[in-house]
Amino acid sequence: MPAIESPGGPIACGASSHNFKHNLETTVMTAKITNLREQFKTTTRQELTRVGLELFLQQGFATTTIDQIVEPLGISKRTFFRYFATKEDLVVEWQSEMTPAFVDELNNRPREETPFKAVSETLLSLASRINTNPELAFALMRLLKETPSLAGRDMERRMVWEQALTATLIEREGPKVMPRLKARITVGMAMTAWTAALDEWYLGGGKANLRPIMEKAFSLVTDQQ
Amino acid sequence: MPAIESPGGPIACGASSHNFKHNLETTVMTAKITNLREQFKTTTRQELTRVGLELFLQQGFATTTIDQIVEPLGISKRTFFRYFATKEDLVVEWQSEMTPAFVDELNNRPREETPFKAVSETLLSLASRINTNPELAFALMRLLKETPSLAGRDMERRMVWEQALTATLIEREGPKVMPRLKARITVGMAMTAWTAALDEWYLGGGKANLRPIMEKAFSLVTDQQ
DNA sequence: TGTCAATACGTCACTAAGTGACAAAATGTG
DNA sequence: CACATTTTGTCACTTAGTGACGTATTGACA
């Protein structure tokens, strides 16, 4: 069982910690009494994603109930749905949360890069994150592929990224050289290559190095006649 | 309220027909006793999609219950789920059902066309279908955009098309000139243009002519440096 | 036309996701 | 310590979706 990287950083995933209260108290101790309430909520959020992903990877998404996720943490079902609107959000929400990071990355790309190149490099920055923990990335991807409802949400996430990057690209290049349709297609093409590369990596069992596959995919886009 | 085109053909949508039995009997009369059972099922299917889409367009997807769809037809809720696995399938399933038509279209494209051109023309053939009833297409698209769960299923449908067309393209060109990654990207690029064009059309209120937008989108892909 | 197997349907009971309302507990502030 | 705010738990409820089982309808054949 690999470590699970939740939004707040990597968290050990082996020992199924029933010591929820203890974690909270140590957090309080170390955090010098700034915003205790937010601290609690952040921790709860992390614990929920940790336990949830553990169970999903172990026994599948559909067969895991909210009660099973909530029970070892001593949290009520109702509270779960105050943190996550749906069961699926537990898996995909952190992906949407990294949208601003992508936008920043694209904004900070050198001005002399072509639009497509800038977007490609932005997406490539995610590849290195995946390389940090390939086993987990592969397991998560299998979960997404095998669970229809999750696959759908994953596609939605892709659309969110596309829209954000499209808006950023228009801003960056100006609407004259880069009107909406053109921007959308530039981003879409880069995203297409990205997705295709990720699928290729997945079909190979997640063992290959992702970066060269991605670079190959991006070059296939630019070489198209 | 526009007419709704269900898989079996266009069906008038205005008069909310409570004459389910009558429809069935006339069907039997005209159909020369071939396969009565299948006839019944096909009609039931069409009636369910018709009433369902009517209600979804009138009062929204989430606020419409299965009971509301089933009640005017005198069908039980249980039977609904023997025809459609989920509520969402009522809206998107017919799209998946046209996958083989796309595959045929691509297979029958002239051999001298470039791969990208062949796929593009295949997708363009759908545009003319949308032009048949733009008001309905626009209404359905709004439904898809405004309902998260439907948007997700719609994306799934896109993936199904992409995979089918990718496999067909590999077959058509041979795996040597067209390996998997390359085929996937070629199809993905065409689909990207297609989606972008459809969005552009939607953002314009669905009033413009779809075809020129699509052709513009496809040319933007090929003109990419 | 009557009989019988296959298939489709309705009813009932059930699980689980998700929501609204309200009271209790914890926290932030003075 | 007292009070307003926020968070949580409990309870009741709606709705999607499923399994089991009995009944009705159809197809095939005598």
pLDDT of residue A225: 53
Asked whether the predicted pLDDT for residue A211 surpasses 90, the reply is yes
Q: Which residues of chain B have pLDDT under 70?
A: 1-34, 225
Determine the 3-state secondary structure of B62 from DSSP.
coil
Contact residues on chain A for B196, CB-CB shorter than 8 A: 181, 184-185, 188
Is the CB of A81 within 7 Å of strand C?
yes
**Are B213 and A185 inside 8 Å of each other by CB?**
no
pLDDT of residue A129: 86
Is the CB of B36 within 7 Å of strand D?
yes
Q: Which helix (H) or strand (E) holds B223?
A: none
Q: What percent of chain A has pLDDT over 70?
A: 84
- CA A176 → CA A103, A169, A170, B86, B193, distances in Å? 20, 12, 9, 45, 20
Grade residue A209 by pLDDT with cuts at 50, 70 and 90: very high
**Are B189 and A158 inside 8 Å of each other by CB?**
no
Average pLDDT of chain A to the nearest whole number: 85
Contact residues on chain A for B219, CB-CB shorter than 8 A: none
A204 vs A131: which has the higher pLDDT = A204
**Are B221 and A224 inside 8 Å of each other by CB?**
yes
Tokens of B84: 């459609």
Short-list B186, B60, B196, B203, CA closest to B120: B186
pLDDT of residue B225: 53
DSSP A7: T
Is the CB of B86 within 7 Å of strand D?
yes
Strand-pairing partners, residue B217, are none
Asked whether the predicted pLDDT for residue A158 surpasses 60, the reply is yes
B49-59 residue pLDDT tens? 999 999 999 99
Select, from the ranges A119-133, A160-174, B10-24, the one with the highest average predicted confidence (pLDDT).
A160-174
Contact residues on chain A for B114, CB-CB shorter than 8 A: 225
Is the CB of B41 within 7 Å of strand C?
yes
Grade residue A151 by pLDDT with cuts at 50, 70 and 90: very high
Q: Given the structure tokens 């995946």, which residue do they identify?
A: A130
- From first CA to last CA, the distance across chain A in angstroms is 45
Distance from CA of B137 to the nearest CA of A (A): 20
Distance from CA of B214 to the nearest CA of A (A): 10
pLDDT of residue B40: 87
Distance between CA atoms of A83 and A89, rounded to whole angstroms?
9
Short-list B98, B93, B108, CA closest to B168: B108
A78-112 residue pLDDT tens? 999 999 999 999 999 888 888 999 999 999 999 99
Mean pLDDT of A175-200: 96
Q: Estimate to the nearest angstrom the gap between the alpha carbon of A139 and the chain centroid.
A: 13
Is the CB of A87 within 7 Å of strand C?
yes
pLDDT of residue B116: 96
What structural domains does chain A harbor? 4-85 (1.10.10.60), 98-222 (1.10.357.10)
pLDDT of residue B31: 35
pLDDT of residue A116: 96
Distance between CA atoms of B40 and B45, rounded to whole angstroms?
9
The torsion angles phi and psi of A94, rounded to 5 degrees, stand at -65, -25
C-alpha torsion B162→B163→B164→B166, nearest 10:
80
Nucleotides of D under 7 A from a protein CB: 6-12, 14-20, 26-27
Asked whether the predicted pLDDT for residue A31 surpasses 50, the reply is no
Distance from CA of A32 to the nearest CA of B (A): 41
CA of A142 to C1' of C7 (A): 37
Is the CB of A64 within 7 Å of strand C?
yes
Grade residue A205 by pLDDT with cuts at 50, 70 and 90: very high
Asked whether the predicted pLDDT for residue A144 surpasses 90, the reply is yes
Asked whether the predicted pLDDT for residue A6 surpasses 60, the reply is no
**Are B185 and A148 inside 8 Å of each other by CB?**
no
Contacts of B46 (CB under 8 A, 6+ apart): B6, B7, B8, B11
C-alpha torsion B214→B216→B222→B225, nearest 10:
-140
Mean pLDDT of A30-53: 79
Q: If you measure CA to CA, which chain B residue comes closest to A213?
A: B181
Contact residues on chain A for B159, CB-CB shorter than 8 A: 151, 155
Enumerate long-range contacts of A7-15, CB under 8 Å, 24 or more apart.
A7/A45, A7/A46, A7/A49, A7/A94, A7/A97, A8/A42, A8/A46, A10/A133, A11/A46, A11/A50, A13/A50, A13/A53, A13/A54
Mean pLDDT of A157-175: 95
Contact residues on chain B for A85, CB-CB shorter than 8 A: none
